[in-house]
Amino acid sequence: MADADEDRADALFHALSDRTRRDILRRVLAGEHSVSVLAAKYEMSFAAVQKHVAVLERAGLLIKRRSGREQLASGDVAAVQAVSDLLAEFEQVWRGRIARIDELIATEPSPED
Amino acid sequence: MADADEDRADALFHALSDRTRRDILRRVLAGEHSVSVLAAKYEMSFAAVQKHVAVLERAGLLIKRRSGREQLASGDVAAVQAVSDLLAEFEQVWRGRIARIDELIATEPSPED
DNA sequence: TTGACATACAACCGATTGGTTGTATGTTTG
DNA sequence: CAAACATACAACCAATCGGTTGTATGTCAA
């Protein structure tokens, strides 16, 4: 269970760790784009862009829909929100730390007494 | 400018893309830990854990404070929030797409007229 | 002062990454 | 049908990654 969650987190953060992929994700979140149209935007081969799209797809950040000979890619905002949730968990851990510090201050009114 | 932002995003997402590093980050967000204490938690060498800590530090997710011969690591929640902000930007791009679709529906009352 | 401890860092290794080119397959169009 | 287009995927390559061991340096304690 938790292992699969970590696998998914690995995939999500790794997919987001490349600027070309983040740029592709922005475009497909804004609207559907074929792989060819996306590839035309970058100074790299079609195959390279196609691989980036595949990484985003495997992470679940993007879904593809076939339309004739084209493959239309669309960003999945739910996956982006899943990453936000992971980060919220980190922030929650930090809040726990602050809460413990506050509690300590309340319990021992002043260390120099 | 924007280039440095992308460098930082690369570093942040890359740092978060490894489960050991995410686990270390949770621990140091919850409270200060020396590198040795952290290293004892994982089935890998001290040097490996030290490198993970260094990756987190370079990304700004963690800061180190020297205390005698120990190096105490502490998570920086502001860096975590910076990642949240990056994701909020993605979600905003998606909202723009939905807004455009809504506008289109409002402008062309019904496609089958 | 001499060990033991805490850390840093270099050198190395196998696996993965991000890129390339080339080839194969399905789809549209003249 | 044939040619052009859109995609997929394999093979390859240099660079980076995540791990190892070994060595050096600074700090604490007997």
- The yes-or-no verdict on residue A113 having pLDDT over 60 is no
Look at residue A3 in the predicted model and tell me its pLDDT: 86
d(CA A53, CA B107): 33
Distance CA B65, CA B71 (A): 6
C-alpha A95/C-alpha B3 separation (Å) is 32
Enumerate the β-bridge partners of residue A23: none
Residue A44, sorted as left (phi over 0), alpha (psi -120 to 50) or beta, turns out to be: beta
Q: Which residues of B touch A93 (CB under 8 A)?
A: 26, 29-30
Interface of B with A in 9-48 (CB under 8 A): 9-10, 13-14, 16-19, 22, 25-26, 29-31
CATH no. of A3-107: 1.10.10.10
Q: What is the mean pLDDT of residues A71-96?
A: 98
Residue extents of the structural domains in chain B = 3-107
| pLDDT tens readout for residues B83-111 | 999 999 999 999 999 999 898 999 877 65
Q: Which of B93, B101, B104 to mutate to test the interface with A (most CBs of A within 10 A)?
A: B93
Averaged pLDDT, A75-80: 98
User: Of residues B25 and B104, which shows the higher confidence score?
Assistant: B25
Give the span between the Cα atoms of A97 and A103, in whole angstroms.
10
**Which chain C positions have some atom within 7 A of a protein CB?**
5-11, 17-22, 26-28
